Amino acid sequence: MKVLENFSLKKFNTFGIDVSAKYFLEAGSVSDIQSYLDDKRVGELPRLILGGGSNILFTKNFDGVVLKNNIRGIELLAQDQEHYYLKVGAGEVWHQFVMHCIQKNYAGVENLSLIPGSVGAAPIQNIGAYGVEQKEVFHELEAIDLKENKLVVFSKSDCQLGYRDSIFKREAKGKFIITSVTFKLFKTPKLNTSYGAIGQELEKMEAKEVSIAAISQAVCNIRRSKLPDPEKIGNAGSFFKNPVVSNEKYESLKKDFHGISAYKDNAGMKLAAGWLIEQCGWKGKQVGNTGVHKDQALVLVNYGNANGAEVFDLSGKILQSVKEKFGVELEREVVIV
């Protein structure tokens, strides 16, 4: 593999932040990664594994090695009466994988259409949207143990998947490189149109039947209408997690703030972070070269020349104002580097 020095990462993060990596290399196979780990020039330096760059905010140059995971391939491993088992390279584009499933009539990921990023990032973040989480179709993954430089398998329970969370964001953070993910997809669709906007969009589309293809198209339509295209304006999608509060806290908030948006969660009530941010007056507000998107308060944007520190500072001001107004602490969903 060719190791590039002082490499610009502007095109490799959807925020479009202009920073550089001391060293940069791309890996197309497991053996590529293992060779990199054996390379004495870069093996001991700080490292960052980069997928689609859609859930990251660079606040400074990276003084180490950025490894771009480009392992591709979609393989049907097995099937039984109810499921298809698909092994997918970590470097595959998530939405292209979803489109492959729609085309083959493999059900389960249609509600996760148009989420930016790579397949390898999906279990790390346990991505979710429109009533579905990645963990509902996750089977297992393969990853390289960076210390031992060997391939290991993580089962679903090993990954400790939670709301926008996994073991790879906690005790296993920075210790493994995911190389492939195996998904357990359904032969008989379990169609989920419970998210209100999907039903409305299907009516607007005048869909003749509710199918995984129709749901996927509805989700794409909704996302395109609400979320800015990173190709046109730099952003990383939802910047904040939806906070979960106790039932008691929710009842208290409901008394003081009519119209508060929330829904039930296993741990209590999940509040809509976008609604909280909008009530604090941030929606559509521009601060220097950055700001909050005019149509979706969860999305922070780069108007062209913002640096990561500006975006991070803005997110801090938003966190503070939500805490002061509602007594609720938001958490950043985006990885800060």
Q: What is the pLDDT of residue 43?
A: 64
User: Stretch 233-252: mean pLDDT, rounded?
Assistant: 90
171 carries an active-site annotation: no
Residue 148 clears pLDDT 70, i.e. is over it: yes
Would residue 263 count as lying in a domain? Answer: yes
Q: What is the pLDDT of residue 1?
A: 67
Instruction: Look at the alpha carbons of 170, 172, 177, 178 in this order and tell me if their dihedral is positive or negative.
Output: negative
Q: Residue 55: how many CB atoms within 10 A of its CB?
A: 25
Residue 196 clears pLDDT 80, i.e. is over it: no
Q: What is the pLDDT of residue 42?
A: 66
More confident residue, 239 or 227: 239
Check whether residue 112 and residue 159 sit in a common domain.
yes
Would residue 213 count as lying in a domain? Answer: no
Residue 282 clears pLDDT 70, i.e. is over it: yes
Share of the chain above pLDDT 70, in %: 99
Identify the residue whose tokens are 């001991």.
Answer: 44
332 carries an active-site annotation: no
Check whether residue 58 and residue 89 sit in a common domain.
no
Would residue 181 count as lying in a domain? Answer: yes
Residue that terminates a domain, selected from 24, 45, 69 = 69
What total of structural domains would you count in the chain?
A: 3
Judge contact between 86 and 74, C-beta under 8 A: yes
Q: What is the pLDDT of residue 78?
A: 95
170 carries an active-site annotation: no
Q: Considering the candidates 136, 164, 166, 180, report the single residue annotated as catalytic.
A: 164
The HSE-up count of residue 87 (CA atoms within 13 Å, CB side) is 12
Check whether residue 106 and residue 149 sit in a common domain.
yes
Nearest to 136 by CA among 114, 106, 104, 161: 161
Nearest to 280 by CA among 298, 267, 263, 268: 298
In CATH, what number is assigned to the domain containing residue 154? 3.30.465.10
| Domain region containing 47 | 4-69
In CATH, what number is assigned to the domain containing residue 241? 3.90.78.10
Q: Considering the candidates 118, 216, 238, 315, report the single residue annotated as catalytic.
A: 238
- pTM comes to 0.79
Judge contact between 115 and 236, C-beta under 8 A: no
pLDDT tens per residue across span 122-143: 999 899 988 899 999 999 999 9
Residue that terminates a domain, selected from 121, 153, 186 = 186
More confident residue, 45 or 89: 89
Q: Considering the candidates 20, 261, 332, 333, report the single residue annotated as catalytic.
A: 333
Residue that terminates a domain, selected from 54, 69, 84 = 69
